[in-house]
Amino acid sequence: MISADTIERIYATARIDEVVGNYVTLRRRGANLVGLCPFHDEKTGSFTVSPAKGLYKCFGCGKAGHVVGFIMEIEQCSYADALRLLAKKYNIPIVETERTPEEIQKNDDKESMLVLNEFATEWFEKQLWETEEGTTIGLSYFRERGLLDTTIKKFHLGYSPDKSNAFYQTAHEKGYDDKFLLNDPETEIGTGLCGKSESGTIYDRFRGRVMFPIRNRSGRTVAFAGRILKNKENVGKYVNSPSSLVYSKTNQLYGFYQARQAISKLDLCYLVEGQMDVLSMYQAGIENVVCSGGTALTQPQIRLIQPLTQKITIIYDGDKAGIHAALRGIDMFLEEGFAVKVVLLPEGEDPDSFARTHNASDFMAYIAENQTDFIRFKAKVLSEHIANDPSQKSAIIRDVMTSVAIIPDVITRQVYIRECSNLFNMQEQLLSLEVEHIRVEKRAEAQKTLQRTQTTLSEVKIEPIPKFSTPIDTKIYQQEKKLEKNYRNIVQILVNYGGCVLQRDEQNTMRVADFILNTLQEDNLKPQNETHSKILQLCYEHQNDPDFSWNTFFVRHPDIQISQLGVDLLEDEPKTFTDCDTKLYEWVYRLLCELKLTYVDLQILYVTKKLSENKDNEDDLKQLMNQHMQLLNIRKVLQEILGLI
């Protein structure tokens, strides 16, 4: 691994204007430099370089980052390779340090899982095309759904035989280790392609299903979704791979790898609900389409799209479920600065069925004629079932303006206010005042909540988590893993936003770091992960340093574990928050509450385990039952607090 000192020297030496200037013709505009974006076609330069900040930003396609990130993007290389390219340009000798055995093992495990997933992809494809069962059942299903062979091959669709362990036997004969075929929820090692019964028998997780490989942004298979074709009692229609070192369902979008170039080129992304929707639309010629894979939309999924485009069109079924899903997604996209449009298909149609009966031109014509911005969509949906009642109309207007109020960009907000003025036949100034009132109201409520719940949160005391020498069940392992993820979220907030102001009055200024660190210290909450613990300790040491650089400090720290985690946590460009920002406060507060709630849930599991082990000891039993009741009460308080956020 490249040493921290070398990374520090590269960052200190590399000038972003010089580096970008090798790829883009730049001209000065005030303190910045502008040019044509190298990441998308444009005639008017919207690509801006800030030498003072060391950042680049394209206001056309949304790509942004620092000098190393630019090299990674333009050269399509890894972080380490980008550092090496810059070191070569500036004649900086590369000093490398040896990785720890744990780091080497973790990387080896990840690579083994990815290799196994690729083998499984090829094996499932072979079953689909070259076996009687696969062609009769799997291939026939895809063809009946209107998919052409070229589409089936493009997305590497496959079939898993309806046999208990056909894949396992083949993989085992090829020498693949059981630990990668199974899945350990504690370590998240293993693909979960197979499972193990209580009797110890290993079976194929996806048997009797058609297979949809899920690929990451670089095109490697990280997981699978399998659809069953026979009606079986108590068996879900879809089964997905479990979470692992290489896969988290909240961070992936099905079809993203195949769609990424079209999304960037067309500066637009279509969002649909299911895999078949993606496949049918892609086959019809609409390639800039992705889906969340049957799960609720998440912020990480939105941020996957964000570097490619800031324009999203949501295409859902015209039924109640589709309308509800569209409404849920609108505000999430608005908060991230997206321009949002919505298309509802005719009743009884979904993107899959509609794409199979229309070519790309007809489909695009329908979208052009029926798409509507979020204002008109929301107003229409909310007003469909109301009478001509002024109070109800007022509620609708306020609901729509609440969505407008969360838009981060002030100019975009004003454009939508003007649109609402025309739509509702109301004075623009009046609606502007309403939006500002909503924003002020939210900020004021956040301040009240901060004052009210800071005390409540500090009063919810958490006992240290005990250690057991006896084996712990799967639920406890999973909860401990969840706790580690909670801590990672906390550390990420500190690294990116530790210096941001949450509250300010005449006597005190409270920053994000103060709020987080004081809360953790009050309850003596400490992570088990060594690197998380090191970063928190450094945060405590520098908490009162007004000049502390909360982001670059960790990236350039001499401890390679800290610097590597710092780089990972800064993978996405941090958002810009104003002082006392309501949105930032709610985010930080929710993460702290979730951390405490995970602690409490874990303690409840521990106490439950103790109760089962101490049935014959009356004194211990009474004490444990009291402790269990106290934990349940704390859990209730935390859930109530979370409900306020």
CA torsion through residues 275, 403, 595, 576, sign:
positive
Per residue in 357-392, pLDDT (tens digit) is 888 888 889 988 888 888 888 777 766 655 566 777
CB 502 within 8 A of CB 515: yes
Calculate the alpha carbon distances from 560 to 245, 437, 526, 565, 589 in Å: 20, 48, 21, 8, 30
Confidence of residue 80 (pLDDT cuts 50, 70, 90): confident
pLDDT at 140: 95
**Span of 61-65, 134-138, 174-178 with lowest mean pLDDT:** 61-65
> Is the per-residue pLDDT at 158 higher than 90?
yes
What is the DSSP code (8-state) at residue 363? H
Q: What is the pTM of this model?
A: 0.60
Beta bridge partners, 203, equal: 195
Per residue in 328-368, pLDDT (tens digit) is 778 888 877 888 898 888 888 888 988 888 888 888 899 88
Per residue in 582-607, pLDDT (tens digit) is 778 878 888 888 898 888 888 888 87
Residue 155 CA to residue 158 CA, distance in Å, equals 9
> Is the per-residue pLDDT at 538 higher than 50?
yes
Q: Is 103 exposed, middle or buried (0-12, 13-18, 19+ CB in 10 A)?
A: middle
**Span of 258-267, 289-298, 447-456, 567-576 with lowest mean pLDDT:** 447-456
C-alpha atoms less than 13 angstroms from C-alpha of 380 in its C-beta half-sphere: 13
| CA nearest to 329, candidates 364, 355, 292 | 292
Confidence of residue 468 (pLDDT cuts 50, 70, 90): very low
Question: Which residue ranges form the domains of the chain, and what is each CATH number?
Answer: 4-89 (3.90.580.10), 101-247 (3.90.980.10), 371-439 (1.20.50), 460-644 (no CATH)
CA torsion through residues 40, 572, 415, 422, sign:
positive
pLDDT at 124: 97
Across the chain, which distance is largest between two alpha carbons, in Å? 81
pLDDT at 320: 66
**Residue that the structure tokens 């010629």 belong to:** 285
- For 164, residues 6+ apart whose C-beta sits below 8 A from its C-beta are 201, 203, 204, 207
DSSP character string of 250-293: GG--BTHHHHHHHHHHHT-EEEESSHHHHHHHHHTT--SEEE-T
Summarize the confidence of residues 230-258 as an average pLDDT: 84
CB 55 within 8 A of CB 64: yes
Strands (E), 22-156: 27-29, 32-35, 47-50, 55-58, 64-66
436: left (phi over 0), alpha (psi -120 to 50) or beta: alpha
Q: Give the type of residue at 582.
A: T
DSSP 3-state of 24: coil
pLDDT at 452: 55
pLDDT at 518: 86
**What number of H helices and E strands is found in the chain?**
27, 18
Mean pLDDT, rounded, of the chain: 82
Per residue in 211-243, pLDDT (tens digit) is 999 998 778 899 999 999 877 666 678 899 999
Summarize the confidence of residues 185-204 as an average pLDDT: 91
Q: Is 424 exposed, middle or buried (0-12, 13-18, 19+ CB in 10 A)?
A: middle
DSSP collapsed to 3 states, 322-359: HHHHHHHHHHHHHHCCCEEEEEECCCCCCHHHHHHCCC
Confidence of residue 581 (pLDDT cuts 50, 70, 90): confident
| CA nearest to 597, candidates 525, 530, 543 | 525
Residue 110, both tokens: 């990840």
pLDDT at 202: 93
Residue 483 CA to residue 466 CA, distance in Å, equals 14
DSSP character string of 372-427: EEHHHHHHHHHHTT--S-HHHHHHHHHHHHHHHHT-S-HHHHHHHHHHHHHHHT--
DSSP character string of 194-216: EEE-TTS-EEETTTTEEEEEEE-
